[in-house]
């Protein structure tokens, strides 16, 4: 969260959004887009797996003003979010998405993603392409409305099922954002209701304590503020910054990390993936301290009903968008879209986890 608390606007009327599809036309055909850019030169590799595997290599020439334009537009959208002008923000994002389509997916011949839909689109960006937002729009429709969309990392756990037994919720350790605490409380209750062991922390933490604690959980959900410290993006944990790369020092890596915090966390999410996390949800935009729990609980509910993470994310986002809730557009799923997370009742290798966590409580509250 990047701004002081504000009240959430009521649902936006008159968006003209039709009911979503269940990936029927493309039947979930995987499509991988690797896009790298340096200056005005860009190269794309498109891999489509259908009845066979089709691979295309294409070169693009980007306008040198494209990335600066996108950065400026992003700032404008963030200001609209800040002041609760959500209809205008949605319109600006749609316009920005048209620009992105005209310079990327259009020249690559990917119009079918909007006209037919039903694809599982995994995008991997390198270089300047990382600055190109994935809120891509064409014919008055966003890319996610008909397709599963994931920002892909370097690991490839395609189709893997990850057992989940314990969830850690870190709710506004900086002590500044009321909605972040509310989010943590509701999520804590949800996890306990579905049978997961859940720990909620809403006090300032020391970096070394969190580094040790985080490795004991399968899911980590952070709600609060993200910032950049010495060129590294990380969570504000009240007593310092926790950079994603610090996860590499842990002896065990969580499967899924949700960073419900300010924008500029795309690179942090990629650091989580490099550390071994299967999936990460991060924000590409700065957002105010508002109630995001309808989207977040919808996502986790679908995940633990057995749906793949990519489809769960897409349907939760689409549902909120149809109700006029624009703010979940700030989030993007990173990792591999086909991963499933399921509750596990088996004992962990570390049978002393509960005791060790209890021993840490005094440290956490110091």
DSSP string, 264-329: --HHHHHHHHHHT-SEEEEESS---B---HHHHHHHHHHHTTT--HHHHHHHHHHHHHHTT--GGG
Q: Which residues pair with 198 in a beta bridge?
A: 167
Helices 66-82 and 86-103: crossing angle in degrees, nearest 10, is 160
208 token code pair = 């070394």
How buried is residue 91: exposed, middle or buried, by Cβ count under 10 Å (0-12/13-18/19+)?
A: middle
Q: What is the pLDDT of residue 159?
A: 72
Q: For the whole model, what pTM was predicted?
A: 0.85
The token pair at 193 is 């209701």
Whether the CB-CB separation of 108 and 60 falls below 8 Å is answered with: yes
Q: Chunk the chain into consecutive blocks of 10 residues (it has 366) and report each block's average pLDDT, rounded to whole numbers.
A: 44 32 61 92 91 90 88 89 89 92 94 92 90 86 93 71 95 91 96 96 91 91 84 84 77 90 77 88 86 96 96 96 90 92 67 37 37
Q: What is the DSSP letter of 205?
A: B
Q: Within 13 Å of residue 332, how many CA atoms lie on the same side as its CB?
A: 31
Q: Tell me which of 3.40.50.300, 2.60.40.420, 3.40.50.2300, 3.40.50.1460 is the CATH number of domain 161-365.
A: 3.40.50.1460
- Segment 80-134, tens digit of pLDDT: 988 889 899 999 999 999 999 999 999 999 999 999 899 999 999 888 888 888 8
pLDDT reported for residue 51 = 74
- Report the pLDDT value the prediction gives residue 250, as an integer from 0 to 100: 63
What's the pLDDT at 228? Answer: 72
Where does the chain hold its CATH 3.40.50.1460 domain(s)? 161-365
Q: Give the integer Cα–Cα distance in Å for 2 and 288.
A: 6
Write down the pLDDT at residue 358: 36
């Amino acid at each position: 969260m990047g701004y002081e608390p504000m009240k959430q606007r009521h649902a936006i009327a008159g968006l003209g959004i039709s009911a979503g599809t269940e990936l029927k036309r493309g039947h979930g055909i995987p499509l991988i887009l690797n896009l790298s850019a340096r200056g005005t030169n860009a190269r794309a590799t498109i891999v489509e797996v259908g009845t066979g595997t089709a691979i295309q290599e294409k070169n693009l020439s980007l306008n040198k003003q494209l990335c600066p334009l996108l950065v400026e537009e992003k700032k404008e959208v963030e200001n609209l979010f800040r002041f609760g002008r959500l209809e205008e923000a949605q319109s600006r994002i749609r316009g920005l998405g048209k620009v992105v389509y005209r310079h990327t997916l259009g020249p690559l011949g990917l119009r079918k993603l909007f006209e037919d839909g039903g694809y599982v689109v995994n995008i991997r960006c390198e270089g300047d392409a990382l600055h190109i937002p994935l809120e891509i729009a064409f014919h008055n429709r966003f890319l996610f409305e008909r397709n599963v969309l994931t920002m892909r990392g370097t690991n490839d756990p395609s189709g893997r099922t990850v057992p989940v037994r314990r969830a850690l919720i870190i709710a506004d350790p900086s002590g500044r954002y009321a909605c972040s605490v509310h989010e943590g409380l509701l999520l804590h209750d949800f996890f306990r209701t579905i049978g997961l062991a859940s720990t909620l922390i809403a006090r300032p933490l020391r970096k070394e304590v969190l580094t040790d604690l985080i490795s004991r959980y399968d899911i980590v959900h952070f709600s609060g503020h993200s910032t950049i410290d010495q060129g590294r993006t990380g969570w504000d944990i009240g007593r310092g910054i926790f950079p994603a790369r610090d996860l590499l020092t842990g002896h065990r890596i969580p499967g899924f990390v949700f960073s419900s915090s300010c924008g500029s966390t795309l690179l942090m999410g990629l650091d989580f993936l490099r550390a071994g996390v299967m999936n990460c949800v991060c924000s590409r935009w700065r957002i105010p301290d508002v109630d995001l729990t309808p989207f977040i609980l919808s996502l986790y509910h679908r995940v633990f009903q057995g749906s793949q993470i990519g489809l769960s994310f897409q349907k939760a986002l689409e549902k909120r968008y149809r109700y006029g809730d624009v703010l979940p557009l700030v989030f993007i799923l990173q990792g591999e879209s086909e991963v499933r997370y399921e509750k596990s009742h088996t004992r962990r290798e570390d049978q002393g986890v509960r005791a060790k966590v209890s021993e840490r409580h005094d440290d956490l509250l110091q």
